[in-house]
Copies of this chain bind each other. A is one copy, B any other.
Amino acid sequence: MKLLIVEDHFQLADDLSRFLGENGFVVEIADTLEKAKEKVELYHYELIILDIGLPDGSGLDVIKLLKKRKSDSGILIVTAKNAIEDKVKGLELGADDYITKPFHKAELNARVRSIIRRKKFNGSNVILINKIEIDLNSMAVKVDDKELDLTRKEYDLLLYFIYNKNRVLTKESIAEHLWGDHIDQADNFDFIYNHIKNLRKKLQQAGAGNHIRSVYGMGYKFYEL
C-alpha cells in the first residue's frame, strides 16, 4: 500500500513517514511541487497526503494534475488553520478529506484509513486488462472467469505492473515499491526473478498470454496486448 507525502517541512514529513511506515504503508516523500508532480506522473499511489502550502507553488496543482490523469488515488489535504479557502477549493477539486495543522498522528492515521476504506467501497473496483480481471475488493484475479490463485507478492507485483502498464520497471524500482525503503542499492535482486517467473507461469497457464516482457538490461514491461 503506497502513499506519497507532499510536504516541504522535512521534520514533519520524516516523522509521518516513519509513523505510517510502522503502520504498514510504504511511504515516499516529495518536498516540492515539482517533485510531487513528477512522482505522480511516474507512479501510482493509493493515497497522497498533500500539503497545500509549498515553497514553489500551490499543492492544488497536484490535485488538478491527478484529476486530469483520471487518477483514482485518494487525496488528503493538509492546510494551515487559517487557510480555509484552500481547504474548500481542494475539496471542490476532488480531494477526499482534509486535516488542519497541527494534528495528531493518530488522527491522520484514522483519516488515511478512512479514505482508503471509502475508496475501496465506492464504485467499481474491477480492473480489466485484456483477459485479466482484478477485483480489488475481493482481491481476486480472474482470467476467462477462472480464478487464479496468487500469493501476496504475486498479487502485489501484478498490481504494480498494471498500475504502470506499458512502462519499463527496473528491478530496483520493483524492489523499492514492493518492499519499501529498507532495500539497499547494493542488494541483489535475483529473488525477483523468482516472483516474475511464478507470476508469468500462472498467467500463462491460465491463458492470459505473455504480458510481462523483459527489456534487456533495463527491466520489465507489462504490455497491454
Q: Quick check: A215 and B139 within 8 Å, CB to CB?
A: yes
Q: Quick check: B152 and A91 within 8 Å, CB to CB?
A: no
Interface stretch, picked from A39-47, A98-106, A191-199, is A98-106
Q: Quick check: B185 and A138 within 8 Å, CB to CB?
A: no
Q: Quick check: B138 and A221 within 8 Å, CB to CB?
A: yes
User: In the complex, what residue of chain B is closest to A101 when comparing beta carbons?
Assistant: B114
User: Which residues of chain B are near A221, meaning CB under 8 Å?
Assistant: 138-139
**A168 in contact with B106 given A151-B217, A152-B216 (CB within 8 Å):** no
Tell me how far the C-beta of A17 lies from the nearest C-beta in chain B, rounded to whole angstroms.
14
Interface size on A, residues (CB 8 A): 39
Q: Quick check: B96 and A216 within 8 Å, CB to CB?
A: no
Q: Quick check: A218 and B139 within 8 Å, CB to CB?
A: yes
Q: Quick check: B152 and A218 within 8 Å, CB to CB?
A: yes
Q: Is A118 engaged at the interface, CB distance under 8 Å to the other chain?
A: yes
Task: Tell me the bound Cα distance from A158 to B59 in angstroms.
Answer: 43
A-B contact pairs, 22 of them (CB 8 A): A10-B91, A11-B96, A22-B185, A22-B186, A24-B172, A24-B185, A102-B113, A102-B114, A106-B121, A110-B181, A113-B176, A117-B173, A137-B166, A137-B167, A137-B168, A138-B166, A138-B167, A138-B221, A139-B218, A151-B217, A152-B216, A155-B218
The 9 closest A-B pairs by CB, nearest first: A152-B217, A139-B168, A137-B167, A23-B185, A138-B166, A138-B167, A102-B114, A11-B97, A139-B218
Q: Taking beta carbons and an 8 Å cutoff, which residues of A are in contact with B?
A: 10-11, 15, 22-24, 91, 96-97, 102, 104-106, 110, 113-114, 117-118, 121, 137-139, 151-152, 155, 166-168, 172-173, 176, 181, 185-186, 215-218, 221
A sample of 17 more A-B contacts (CB under 8 A), given A105-B121, A137-B166, A152-B218, is A11-B97, A22-B186, A24-B185, A102-B114, A104-B117, A104-B121, A106-B121, A110-B181, A137-B167, A138-B167, A138-B168, A138-B221, A139-B168, A139-B215, A139-B218, A152-B216, A155-B218
